[in-house]
Protein backbone atom coordinates (compact mmCIF):
# COMPACT_ATOMS: atom_id res chain seq x y z
CA UNK A 1 0.00 0.00 0.00
CA UNK A 2 1.19 3.51 -0.73
CA UNK A 3 1.32 6.35 1.79
CA UNK A 4 -2.02 7.83 0.76
CA UNK A 5 -3.82 4.51 1.22
CA UNK A 6 -2.27 4.05 4.67
CA UNK A 7 -3.34 7.57 5.63
CA UNK A 8 -6.93 6.92 4.51
CA UNK A 9 -7.06 3.58 6.31
CA UNK A 10 -5.76 5.17 9.50
CA UNK A 11 -8.39 7.91 9.29
CA UNK A 12 -11.35 5.62 8.59
CA UNK A 13 -10.32 3.14 11.29
CA UNK A 14 -11.00 5.63 14.10
CA UNK A 15 -14.71 6.26 13.33
CA UNK A 16 -15.03 2.54 12.53
CA UNK A 17 -13.78 1.81 16.05
CA UNK A 18 -16.34 4.25 17.50
CA UNK A 19 -19.17 2.66 15.50
CA UNK A 20 -18.00 -0.73 16.75
CA UNK A 21 -18.20 0.35 20.38
CA UNK A 22 -21.71 1.71 20.26
CA UNK A 23 -23.76 -1.47 19.88
CA UNK A 24 -21.83 -3.90 22.06
CA UNK A 25 -21.13 -1.28 24.74
CA UNK A 26 -24.85 -0.61 25.12
CA UNK A 27 -25.41 -4.36 25.56
CA UNK A 28 -23.42 -4.33 28.80
CA UNK A 29 -25.51 -1.42 30.13
CA UNK A 30 -28.87 -3.20 29.85
CA UNK A 31 -28.98 -4.20 33.54
CA UNK A 32 -28.23 -0.75 35.07
CA UNK A 33 -30.63 0.92 32.63
CA UNK A 34 -33.34 -1.58 33.65
CA UNK A 35 -32.73 -0.65 37.29
CA UNK A 36 -32.68 3.13 36.79
CA UNK A 37 -35.87 3.27 34.73
CA UNK A 38 -37.63 0.26 36.38
CA UNK A 39 -38.30 -1.53 33.07
CA UNK A 40 -37.81 -5.14 31.93
CA UNK A 41 -35.67 -6.59 29.15
CA UNK A 42 -38.49 -6.55 26.59
CA UNK A 43 -38.36 -2.74 26.90
CA UNK A 44 -34.61 -2.29 27.25
CA UNK A 45 -34.02 -4.44 24.15
CA UNK A 46 -35.39 -1.46 22.20
CA UNK A 47 -32.36 0.54 23.33
CA UNK A 48 -30.45 -1.95 21.19
CA UNK A 49 -33.06 -2.59 18.52
CA UNK A 50 -33.97 1.06 17.88
CA UNK A 51 -30.33 1.66 17.00
CA UNK A 52 -30.04 -1.52 14.95
CA UNK A 53 -33.32 -0.86 13.10
CA UNK A 54 -32.53 2.71 11.98
CA UNK A 55 -28.91 1.77 11.29
CA UNK A 56 -29.78 -1.20 9.09
CA UNK A 57 -32.69 0.48 7.30
CA UNK A 58 -30.75 3.65 6.47
CA UNK A 59 -27.48 1.95 5.52
CA UNK A 60 -28.26 1.57 1.85
CA UNK A 61 -29.46 5.16 1.67
CA UNK A 62 -26.21 6.23 3.34
CA UNK A 63 -24.20 4.21 0.83
CA UNK A 64 -26.08 5.65 -2.14
CA UNK A 65 -25.78 9.23 -0.87
CA UNK A 66 -22.06 8.67 -0.40
CA UNK A 67 -21.77 7.31 -3.94
CA UNK A 68 -23.68 10.34 -5.26
CA UNK A 69 -22.19 13.22 -3.27
CA UNK A 70 -18.93 11.96 -1.76
CA UNK A 71 -18.11 9.40 0.91
CA UNK A 72 -15.95 11.78 2.94
CA UNK A 73 -18.72 14.37 3.09
CA UNK A 74 -21.29 11.89 4.38
CA UNK A 75 -18.90 10.46 6.96
CA UNK A 76 -18.57 13.99 8.37
CA UNK A 77 -22.35 14.53 8.27
CA UNK A 78 -22.97 11.19 9.95
CA UNK A 79 -20.45 11.92 12.70
CA UNK A 80 -22.28 15.18 13.42
CA UNK A 81 -25.64 13.39 13.76
CA UNK A 82 -24.05 10.61 15.81
CA UNK A 83 -22.38 13.08 18.17
CA UNK A 84 -25.58 15.06 18.81
CA UNK A 85 -27.55 11.84 19.39
CA UNK A 86 -24.88 10.56 21.80
CA UNK A 87 -25.22 13.77 23.80
CA UNK A 88 -28.99 13.14 23.85
CA UNK A 89 -28.35 9.70 25.38
CA UNK A 90 -26.26 11.33 28.12
CA UNK A 91 -29.11 13.71 28.96
CA UNK A 92 -32.01 11.23 28.57
CA UNK A 93 -34.60 11.86 31.35
CA UNK A 94 -36.49 8.62 30.70
CA UNK A 95 -36.27 5.40 28.73
CA UNK A 96 -38.47 6.71 25.88
CA UNK A 97 -36.13 9.65 25.25
CA UNK A 98 -33.17 7.28 25.39
CA UNK A 99 -34.72 4.97 22.79
CA UNK A 100 -35.35 7.87 20.41
CA UNK A 101 -31.80 9.16 20.89
CA UNK A 102 -30.49 5.67 20.13
CA UNK A 103 -32.58 5.63 16.95
CA UNK A 104 -30.94 8.91 15.89
CA UNK A 105 -27.52 7.43 16.65
CA UNK A 106 -28.41 4.62 14.25
CA UNK A 107 -29.17 7.12 11.47
CA UNK A 108 -25.81 8.83 12.00
CA UNK A 109 -24.01 5.48 11.95
CA UNK A 110 -25.83 4.54 8.73
CA UNK A 111 -24.31 7.56 6.99
CA UNK A 112 -20.86 6.70 8.33
CA UNK A 113 -20.34 2.96 7.88
CA UNK A 114 -20.95 2.29 4.15
CA UNK A 115 -18.91 5.35 3.24
CA UNK A 116 -16.03 4.17 5.44
CA UNK A 117 -16.17 0.78 3.75
CA UNK A 118 -16.19 2.38 0.30
CA UNK A 119 -13.22 4.61 1.17
CA UNK A 120 -11.25 1.60 2.46
CA UNK A 121 -12.14 -0.59 -0.53
CA UNK A 122 -11.31 2.01 -3.17
CA UNK A 123 -8.12 3.54 -1.73
CA UNK A 124 -6.09 0.42 -2.64
CA UNK A 125 -5.53 -1.81 -5.66
CA UNK A 126 -7.88 -4.76 -6.18
CA UNK A 127 -5.39 -7.36 -4.93
CA UNK A 128 -5.05 -5.39 -1.66
CA UNK A 129 -8.78 -4.92 -1.13
CA UNK A 130 -9.21 -7.98 1.11
CA UNK A 131 -6.47 -6.75 3.43
CA UNK A 132 -7.85 -3.17 3.44
CA UNK A 133 -11.39 -4.29 4.26
CA UNK A 134 -9.91 -6.65 6.84
CA UNK A 135 -8.18 -3.70 8.55
CA UNK A 136 -11.45 -1.77 8.66
CA UNK A 137 -13.38 -4.76 9.97
CA UNK A 138 -10.59 -5.27 12.49
CA UNK A 139 -11.15 -1.70 13.73
CA UNK A 140 -14.89 -2.37 14.07
CA UNK A 141 -14.20 -5.67 15.80
CA UNK A 142 -11.74 -3.95 18.15
CA UNK A 143 -14.51 -1.51 19.01
CA UNK A 144 -16.86 -4.43 19.56
CA UNK A 145 -14.25 -6.04 21.79
CA UNK A 146 -13.25 -3.00 23.83
CA UNK A 147 -16.75 -1.56 24.20
CA UNK A 148 -17.80 -3.77 27.15
CA UNK A 149 -14.59 -2.86 28.99
CA UNK A 150 -15.04 0.84 28.20
CA UNK A 151 -18.72 0.79 29.19
CA UNK A 152 -18.05 -1.23 32.35
CA UNK A 153 -15.20 1.01 33.47
CA UNK A 154 -17.15 4.22 32.87
CA UNK A 155 -20.24 2.78 34.60
CA UNK A 156 -18.08 1.75 37.57
CA UNK A 157 -16.51 5.18 38.09
CA UNK A 158 -19.66 7.14 37.27
CA UNK A 159 -22.81 5.70 35.72
CA UNK A 160 -23.92 4.21 32.40
CA UNK A 161 -24.28 7.68 30.82
CA UNK A 162 -20.49 8.04 30.77
CA UNK A 163 -20.30 5.58 27.89
CA UNK A 164 -22.41 7.84 25.66
CA UNK A 165 -20.23 10.77 26.72
CA UNK A 166 -17.30 8.74 25.37
CA UNK A 167 -19.20 8.39 22.06
CA UNK A 168 -19.69 12.17 21.90
CA UNK A 169 -16.01 12.99 22.43
CA UNK A 170 -14.69 10.41 19.98
CA UNK A 171 -17.20 11.43 17.30
CA UNK A 172 -15.59 14.90 17.40
CA UNK A 173 -12.06 13.42 17.25
CA UNK A 174 -13.06 11.19 14.32
CA UNK A 175 -14.49 14.14 12.39
CA UNK A 176 -11.26 16.12 12.85
CA UNK A 177 -9.14 13.21 11.56
CA UNK A 178 -11.40 12.61 8.55
CA UNK A 179 -11.34 16.30 7.64
CA UNK A 180 -7.54 16.45 7.94
CA UNK A 181 -6.38 13.14 6.43
CA UNK A 182 -8.93 12.21 3.73
CA UNK A 183 -9.16 14.16 0.49
CA UNK A 184 -12.51 15.17 -0.98
CA UNK A 185 -13.50 12.91 -3.91
CA UNK A 186 -13.80 14.47 -7.35
CA UNK A 187 -15.77 11.72 -9.13
CA UNK A 188 -19.24 10.62 -8.09
CA UNK A 189 -22.20 8.76 -9.55
CA UNK A 190 -24.64 11.28 -11.02
CA UNK A 191 -27.66 9.33 -12.27
CA UNK A 192 -29.05 7.66 -9.14
CA UNK A 193 -31.69 8.52 -6.54
CA UNK A 194 -32.30 7.37 -2.97
CA UNK A 195 -35.14 4.86 -2.69
CA UNK A 196 -37.08 6.44 0.20
CA UNK A 197 -40.23 4.40 -0.51
CA UNK A 198 -38.38 1.10 -0.42
CA UNK A 199 -36.56 2.09 2.75
CA UNK A 200 -39.84 2.99 4.51
CA UNK A 201 -41.54 -0.21 3.33
CA UNK A 202 -38.79 -2.44 4.66
CA UNK A 203 -38.45 -0.46 7.89
CA UNK A 204 -42.19 -0.76 8.61
CA UNK A 205 -42.06 -4.52 7.93
CA UNK A 206 -39.13 -5.07 10.30
CA UNK A 207 -40.62 -2.78 12.96
CA UNK A 208 -43.96 -4.62 12.89
CA UNK A 209 -42.18 -7.96 13.24
CA UNK A 210 -39.98 -6.83 16.14
CA UNK A 211 -42.76 -4.99 17.97
CA UNK A 212 -45.04 -8.00 17.53
CA UNK A 213 -42.38 -10.23 19.09
CA UNK A 214 -42.08 -7.77 21.98
CA UNK A 215 -45.83 -7.66 22.66
CA UNK A 216 -46.22 -11.41 22.15
CA UNK A 217 -43.61 -12.16 24.80
CA UNK A 218 -45.27 -9.77 27.25
CA UNK A 219 -48.99 -10.32 26.68
CA UNK A 220 -49.41 -13.53 24.69
CA UNK A 221 -49.17 -14.53 21.06
CA UNK A 222 -52.88 -14.60 20.23
CA UNK A 223 -53.77 -11.03 21.14
CA UNK A 224 -55.43 -8.91 18.46
CA UNK A 225 -52.67 -6.26 18.39
CA UNK A 226 -49.92 -8.89 18.25
CA UNK A 227 -51.57 -10.74 15.37
CA UNK A 228 -52.22 -7.44 13.57
CA UNK A 229 -48.52 -6.55 13.83
CA UNK A 230 -47.44 -9.91 12.45
CA UNK A 231 -49.98 -9.52 9.64
CA UNK A 232 -48.64 -6.05 8.89
CA UNK A 233 -45.10 -7.43 8.77
CA UNK A 234 -46.14 -10.07 6.22
CA UNK A 235 -47.93 -7.49 4.09
CA UNK A 236 -45.02 -5.04 3.99
CA UNK A 237 -42.42 -7.76 3.41
CA UNK A 238 -44.56 -8.97 0.48
CA UNK A 239 -44.89 -5.40 -0.83
CA UNK A 240 -41.15 -4.74 -0.75
CA UNK A 241 -40.20 -6.61 -3.99
CA UNK A 242 -43.15 -4.96 -5.78
CA UNK A 243 -42.03 -1.50 -4.64
CA UNK A 244 -38.44 -2.22 -5.67
CA UNK A 245 -39.57 -3.30 -9.14
CA UNK A 246 -41.33 0.05 -9.70
CA UNK A 247 -38.78 2.63 -8.52
CA UNK A 248 -35.99 3.88 -10.77
CA UNK A 249 -33.08 3.24 -8.40
CA UNK A 250 -34.23 0.59 -5.90
CA UNK A 251 -32.78 0.25 -2.43
CA UNK A 252 -31.93 -3.36 -3.24
CA UNK A 253 -31.38 -3.58 -7.04
CA UNK A 254 -33.32 -6.55 -8.37
CA UNK A 255 -30.54 -7.60 -10.75
CA UNK A 256 -28.25 -7.96 -7.73
CA UNK A 257 -30.88 -9.93 -5.85
CA UNK A 258 -31.18 -12.34 -8.78
CA UNK A 259 -27.53 -13.26 -8.29
CA UNK A 260 -27.93 -16.15 -5.85
CA UNK A 261 -24.29 -16.12 -4.79
CA UNK A 262 -24.48 -12.43 -3.90
CA UNK A 263 -27.65 -13.03 -1.88
CA UNK A 264 -25.97 -15.86 -0.01
CA UNK A 265 -23.02 -13.70 0.96
CA UNK A 266 -25.45 -11.05 2.19
CA UNK A 267 -27.28 -13.56 4.39
CA UNK A 268 -23.91 -14.73 5.72
CA UNK A 269 -23.24 -11.16 6.83
CA UNK A 270 -26.29 -11.43 9.10
CA UNK A 271 -26.72 -14.98 10.38
CA UNK A 272 -23.47 -15.11 12.40
CA UNK A 273 -24.41 -11.79 14.01
CA UNK A 274 -27.37 -13.46 15.71
CA UNK A 275 -25.17 -15.90 17.65
CA UNK A 276 -22.53 -13.25 18.37
CA UNK A 277 -25.15 -10.76 19.62
CA UNK A 278 -26.70 -13.46 21.81
CA UNK A 279 -23.35 -13.94 23.53
CA UNK A 280 -22.59 -10.23 23.78
CA UNK A 281 -26.03 -9.45 25.23
CA UNK A 282 -26.60 -12.38 27.58
CA UNK A 283 -23.14 -13.42 28.79
CA UNK A 284 -22.59 -10.15 30.72
CA UNK A 285 -26.05 -10.64 32.23
CA UNK A 286 -25.09 -14.22 33.10
CA UNK A 287 -22.05 -12.92 34.94
CA UNK A 288 -24.12 -10.30 36.76
CA UNK A 289 -27.24 -12.38 37.52
CA UNK A 290 -25.68 -15.81 38.12
CA UNK A 291 -22.19 -14.99 39.39
CA UNK A 292 -23.24 -11.76 41.10
CA UNK A 293 -20.44 -9.79 39.40
CA UNK A 294 -20.43 -6.00 39.04
CA UNK A 295 -20.64 -4.34 35.64
CA UNK A 296 -16.90 -3.64 35.74
CA UNK A 297 -15.94 -7.26 36.42
CA UNK A 298 -18.41 -8.43 33.78
CA UNK A 299 -16.70 -6.13 31.29
CA UNK A 300 -13.34 -7.64 32.15
CA UNK A 301 -14.85 -11.10 31.77
CA UNK A 302 -15.95 -10.27 28.23
CA UNK A 303 -12.35 -9.71 27.15
CA UNK A 304 -12.16 -13.47 26.59
CA UNK A 305 -14.50 -12.83 23.67
CA UNK A 306 -13.27 -9.42 22.59
CA UNK A 307 -9.55 -10.04 22.32
CA UNK A 308 -9.66 -13.17 20.12
CA UNK A 309 -12.35 -11.79 17.78
CA UNK A 310 -10.21 -8.69 17.17
CA UNK A 311 -7.19 -10.84 16.37
CA UNK A 312 -9.12 -13.18 14.05
CA UNK A 313 -10.84 -10.30 12.22
CA UNK A 314 -7.52 -8.65 11.45
CA UNK A 315 -5.79 -11.90 10.46
CA UNK A 316 -8.52 -13.45 8.32
CA UNK A 317 -8.21 -10.86 5.54
CA UNK A 318 -4.79 -12.26 4.68
CA UNK A 319 -6.31 -15.69 3.93
CA UNK A 320 -9.27 -14.57 1.82
CA UNK A 321 -7.56 -15.29 -1.51
CA UNK A 322 -5.47 -18.31 -0.49
CA UNK A 323 -8.12 -20.25 1.44
CA UNK A 324 -11.29 -18.81 -0.09
CA UNK A 325 -14.39 -17.34 1.54
CA UNK A 326 -16.43 -20.57 1.30
CA UNK A 327 -14.10 -22.57 3.55
CA UNK A 328 -13.50 -19.69 5.95
CA UNK A 329 -17.23 -19.03 6.43
CA UNK A 330 -18.04 -22.73 6.81
CA UNK A 331 -15.36 -23.22 9.46
CA UNK A 332 -16.61 -20.08 11.21
CA UNK A 333 -20.15 -21.43 11.43
CA UNK A 334 -18.85 -24.75 12.71
CA UNK A 335 -17.25 -22.87 15.61
CA UNK A 336 -20.55 -21.04 16.22
CA UNK A 337 -22.34 -24.40 16.43
CA UNK A 338 -19.81 -25.56 19.04
CA UNK A 339 -20.35 -22.31 20.97
CA UNK A 340 -24.12 -22.85 21.20
CA UNK A 341 -23.72 -26.49 22.23
CA UNK A 342 -21.29 -25.50 24.99
CA UNK A 343 -23.74 -22.86 26.22
CA UNK A 344 -26.57 -25.42 26.29
CA UNK A 345 -24.39 -27.74 28.40
CA UNK A 346 -23.31 -24.93 30.75
CA UNK A 347 -23.80 -25.48 34.48
CA UNK A 348 -23.65 -22.76 37.12
CA UNK A 349 -21.11 -24.79 39.13
CA UNK A 350 -18.57 -24.47 36.27
CA UNK A 351 -18.18 -20.78 37.04
CA UNK A 352 -16.32 -18.37 34.78
CA UNK A 353 -13.95 -21.08 33.53
CA UNK A 354 -16.96 -22.73 31.87
CA UNK A 355 -17.71 -19.53 29.95
CA UNK A 356 -14.21 -19.11 28.50
CA UNK A 357 -14.58 -21.86 25.83
CA UNK A 358 -17.97 -20.38 24.87
CA UNK A 359 -16.48 -16.93 24.33
CA UNK A 360 -13.38 -18.17 22.52
CA UNK A 361 -15.36 -20.34 20.08
CA UNK A 362 -17.88 -17.58 19.25
CA UNK A 363 -14.97 -15.15 18.76
CA UNK A 364 -13.17 -17.47 16.33
CA UNK A 365 -16.40 -18.35 14.55
CA UNK A 366 -17.54 -14.75 14.21
CA UNK A 367 -14.11 -13.60 13.08
CA UNK A 368 -13.88 -16.29 10.40
CA UNK A 369 -17.44 -15.71 9.14
CA UNK A 370 -17.83 -11.92 9.06
CA UNK A 371 -14.72 -10.72 7.24
CA UNK A 372 -14.95 -13.07 4.25
CA UNK A 373 -18.70 -12.48 3.90
CA UNK A 374 -18.25 -8.70 3.86
CA UNK A 375 -15.34 -8.83 1.42
CA UNK A 376 -17.20 -11.23 -0.89
CA UNK A 377 -20.19 -8.88 -0.99
CA UNK A 378 -18.01 -5.87 -1.87
CA UNK A 379 -15.97 -7.83 -4.43
CA UNK A 380 -19.18 -8.86 -6.19
CA UNK A 381 -19.68 -5.29 -7.45
CA UNK A 382 -17.53 -2.63 -9.05
CA UNK A 383 -15.90 0.29 -7.19
CA UNK A 384 -18.78 2.61 -8.06
CA UNK A 385 -21.14 0.26 -6.19
CA UNK A 386 -18.84 -0.27 -3.20
CA UNK A 387 -20.92 2.03 -0.98
CA UNK A 388 -24.11 0.21 -1.92
CA UNK A 389 -22.55 -3.20 -1.35
CA UNK A 390 -21.20 -2.04 2.01
CA UNK A 391 -24.61 -0.74 2.97
CA UNK A 392 -26.36 -3.95 1.99
CA UNK A 393 -23.86 -6.19 3.76
CA UNK A 394 -24.07 -4.30 7.02
CA UNK A 395 -27.84 -3.91 6.65
CA UNK A 396 -28.07 -7.69 6.71
CA UNK A 397 -25.53 -7.84 9.54
CA UNK A 398 -27.44 -5.54 11.86
CA UNK A 399 -30.95 -6.16 10.50
CA UNK A 400 -30.84 -9.93 10.83
CA UNK A 401 -28.93 -9.55 14.10
CA UNK A 402 -31.64 -7.30 15.55
CA UNK A 403 -34.46 -9.54 14.32
CA UNK A 404 -32.61 -12.55 15.76
CA UNK A 405 -32.18 -10.85 19.14
CA UNK A 406 -35.89 -9.92 19.14
CA UNK A 407 -36.83 -13.55 18.39
CA UNK A 408 -34.41 -14.91 20.99
CA UNK A 409 -35.59 -12.43 23.63
CA UNK A 410 -39.22 -13.37 22.97
CA UNK A 411 -38.36 -17.08 23.31
CA UNK A 412 -36.24 -16.38 26.38
CA UNK A 413 -38.93 -14.32 28.12
CA UNK A 414 -41.65 -16.87 27.35
CA UNK A 415 -39.48 -19.71 28.69
CA UNK A 416 -38.62 -17.67 31.79
CA UNK A 417 -42.29 -16.98 32.54
CA UNK A 418 -43.10 -20.69 32.16
CA UNK A 419 -40.27 -21.52 34.55
CA UNK A 420 -41.51 -19.00 37.13
CA UNK A 421 -45.06 -20.36 36.84
CA UNK A 422 -43.80 -23.94 37.24
CA UNK A 423 -41.67 -23.14 40.29
CA UNK A 424 -44.48 -21.22 41.99
CA UNK A 425 -47.07 -23.89 41.14
CA UNK A 426 -44.90 -26.62 42.72
CA UNK A 427 -45.09 -24.67 45.99
CA UNK A 428 -48.80 -23.81 45.58
CA UNK A 429 -48.02 -20.10 45.25
CA UNK A 430 -50.07 -17.72 43.13
CA UNK A 431 -48.94 -14.28 41.94
CA UNK A 432 -50.46 -11.79 39.52
CA UNK A 433 -49.38 -11.93 35.85
CA UNK A 434 -47.59 -8.58 36.22
CA UNK A 435 -45.58 -9.84 39.21
CA UNK A 436 -44.67 -13.02 37.32
CA UNK A 437 -43.39 -10.93 34.38
CA UNK A 438 -41.24 -8.93 36.79
CA UNK A 439 -39.79 -12.11 38.29
CA UNK A 440 -39.06 -13.55 34.84
CA UNK A 441 -37.29 -10.43 33.58
CA UNK A 442 -35.42 -9.13 36.62
CA UNK A 443 -32.80 -9.96 39.22
CA UNK A 444 -32.89 -10.26 43.00
CA UNK A 445 -31.32 -6.79 43.17
CA UNK A 446 -34.21 -5.09 41.38
CA UNK A 447 -36.32 -2.89 43.71
CA UNK A 448 -39.57 -4.24 42.24
CA UNK A 449 -38.55 -7.85 42.96
CA UNK A 450 -37.35 -6.91 46.44
CA UNK A 451 -40.81 -5.47 47.02
CA UNK A 452 -42.43 -8.76 45.97
CA UNK A 453 -40.07 -10.69 48.25
CA UNK A 454 -40.85 -8.28 51.10
CA UNK A 455 -44.57 -9.09 50.86
CA UNK A 456 -43.96 -12.85 51.07
CA UNK A 457 -43.37 -15.04 54.13
CA UNK A 458 -39.94 -16.56 54.79
CA UNK A 459 -40.55 -19.90 53.03
CA UNK A 460 -42.51 -18.33 50.19
CA UNK A 461 -39.77 -15.72 49.69
CA UNK A 462 -37.21 -18.51 49.27
CA UNK A 463 -39.38 -20.14 46.59
CA UNK A 464 -39.82 -16.80 44.77
CA UNK A 465 -36.06 -16.12 44.90
CA UNK A 466 -35.38 -19.58 43.47
CA UNK A 467 -37.91 -18.92 40.69
CA UNK A 468 -36.00 -15.75 39.73
CA UNK A 469 -32.67 -17.62 39.62
CA UNK A 470 -34.05 -20.53 37.58
CA UNK A 471 -35.97 -18.32 35.16
CA UNK A 472 -32.83 -16.76 33.69
CA UNK A 473 -31.14 -20.12 33.12
CA UNK A 474 -34.27 -21.56 31.51
CA UNK A 475 -34.68 -18.54 29.25
CA UNK A 476 -31.02 -18.62 28.28
CA UNK A 477 -31.34 -22.23 27.11
CA UNK A 478 -34.29 -21.31 24.90
CA UNK A 479 -32.30 -18.44 23.36
CA UNK A 480 -29.29 -20.64 22.56
CA UNK A 481 -31.38 -23.44 21.04
CA UNK A 482 -32.52 -20.76 18.62
CA UNK A 483 -28.88 -19.69 18.13
CA UNK A 484 -27.89 -23.30 17.39
CA UNK A 485 -30.53 -23.55 14.65
CA UNK A 486 -29.26 -20.30 13.10
CA UNK A 487 -25.63 -21.49 13.19
CA UNK A 488 -26.57 -24.76 11.44
CA UNK A 489 -28.44 -22.78 8.77
CA UNK A 490 -25.37 -20.57 8.28
CA UNK A 491 -23.15 -23.62 7.82
CA UNK A 492 -25.48 -25.03 5.15
CA UNK A 493 -25.56 -21.72 3.24
CA UNK A 494 -21.77 -21.33 3.53
CA UNK A 495 -21.21 -24.73 1.94
CA UNK A 496 -23.58 -23.81 -0.91
CA UNK A 497 -21.54 -20.76 -2.00
CA UNK A 498 -19.93 -21.11 -5.42
CA UNK A 499 -16.77 -18.98 -5.34
CA UNK A 500 -16.37 -19.10 -9.13
CA UNK A 501 -19.53 -16.99 -9.46
CA UNK A 502 -18.33 -14.28 -7.08
CA UNK A 503 -16.56 -11.91 -9.43
CA UNK A 504 -14.67 -8.80 -8.36
CA UNK A 505 -14.33 -7.33 -11.84
CA UNK A 506 -17.96 -6.91 -12.81
CA UNK A 507 -21.19 -5.79 -11.24
CA UNK A 508 -23.49 -8.42 -9.75
CA UNK A 509 -26.04 -9.59 -12.27
In a domain, 436, yes or no: no
Position 221 scores a pLDDT of 79
Chain centroid to CA 224: how far?
A: 30
Domain span at residue 52 reads 3-195+247-415+473-501
Position 355 scores a pLDDT of 94
pTM of the full structure: 0.79
In contact, 305 and 283? CB cutoff 8 Å:
yes
- Burial code (b: 16+ CB inside 10 Å, e: under 16) for 320-330 equals beeebbbbbbb
Give the integer Cα–Cα distance in Å for 122 and 119.
Answer: 5
How many structural domains compose the chain? 1
Return the closest-CA partner of residue 112 out of 84, 85, 73.
73
pLDDT of the chain along its 509 residues, tens only? 677 788 888 888 899 999 888 877 888 888 788 878 877 777 777 888 888 888 877 877 787 788 777 888 889 999 999 999 999 999 999 999 999 999 999 999 988 988 888 888 777 776 677 677 778 877 887 787 788 888 888 888 878 999 999 999 999 999 999 988 888 776 655 566 777 888 888 888 888 888 888 777 667 778 888 899 999 999 999 998 888 888 877 877 777 777 777 788 888 988 998 999 899 888 988 888 788 888 889 888 988 988 888 788 778 877 877 888 889 999 999 999 999 999 999 988 898 999 999 999 999 999 899 878 877 877 766 556 665 666 677 778 877 888 888 888 888 888 888 888 888 888 888 888 777 877 876 677 777 788 888 888 778 888 888 888 788 888 889 999 999 999 999 999 999 888 776 654 343 33
DSSP annotation of 413: H
- Specify the 3-state DSSP secondary structure of 249: coil
Nearest 5 degrees, angle CA 10-CA 13-CA 17? 150
- Specify the 3-state DSSP secondary structure of 236: helix
Give the integer Cα–Cα distance in Å for 198 and 434.
Answer: 39
In contact, 275 and 365? CB cutoff 8 Å:
yes
In a domain, 452, yes or no: no
In a domain, 230, yes or no: no
In a domain, 130, yes or no: yes
Position 166 scores a pLDDT of 92
Element (H, E) at 228: helix 224-246
Give the integer Cα–Cα distance in Å for 60 and 58.
Answer: 6
Residue 497, C-beta contacts closer than 8 angstroms, at least 6 positions apart: 261, 264, 265, 268, 325, 326, 329, 376
In contact, 50 and 69? CB cutoff 8 Å:
no
Nearest 5 degrees, angle CA 3-CA 5-CA 6? 65
The CA distances from residue 7 to 195, 219, 333, in Å, are 33, 53, 34
Residue 385: which CATH number? 1.20.1250.20
Return the closest-CA partner of residue 493 out of 266, 335, 316, 324.
266
Position 387 scores a pLDDT of 59
- CA dihedral sign of residues 377, 382, 383, 384: negative
In a domain, 185, yes or no: yes
In a domain, 407, yes or no: yes
Give the integer Cα–Cα distance in Å for 336 and 404.
Answer: 15
DSSP annotation of 185: P
Nearest 5 degrees, angle CA 414-CA 345-CA 291? 75
In a domain, 325, yes or no: yes
How far is it between the farthest Cα atoms of the chain?
A: 74
Residue 80, C-beta contacts closer than 8 angstroms, at least 6 positions apart: 108, 171, 175
In contact, 416 and 474? CB cutoff 8 Å:
yes
In a domain, 65, yes or no: yes
Amino acid sequence: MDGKAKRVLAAVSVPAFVIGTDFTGAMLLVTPIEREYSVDITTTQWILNAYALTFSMCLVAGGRLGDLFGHRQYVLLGLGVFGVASLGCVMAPDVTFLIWARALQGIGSAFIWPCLLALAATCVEEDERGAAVGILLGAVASGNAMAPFIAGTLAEIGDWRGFFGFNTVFAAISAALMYRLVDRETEHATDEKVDILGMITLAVAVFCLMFGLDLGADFGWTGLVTLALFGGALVFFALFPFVESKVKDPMVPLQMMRNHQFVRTLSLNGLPAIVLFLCMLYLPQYMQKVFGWSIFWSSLGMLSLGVPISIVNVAVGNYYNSVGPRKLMAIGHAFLIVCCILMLLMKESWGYLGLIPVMVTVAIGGGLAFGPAGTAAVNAVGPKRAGLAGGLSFMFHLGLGAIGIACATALMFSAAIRQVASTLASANLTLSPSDMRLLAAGTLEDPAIKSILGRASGKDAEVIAEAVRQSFASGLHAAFWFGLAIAVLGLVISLSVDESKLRSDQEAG
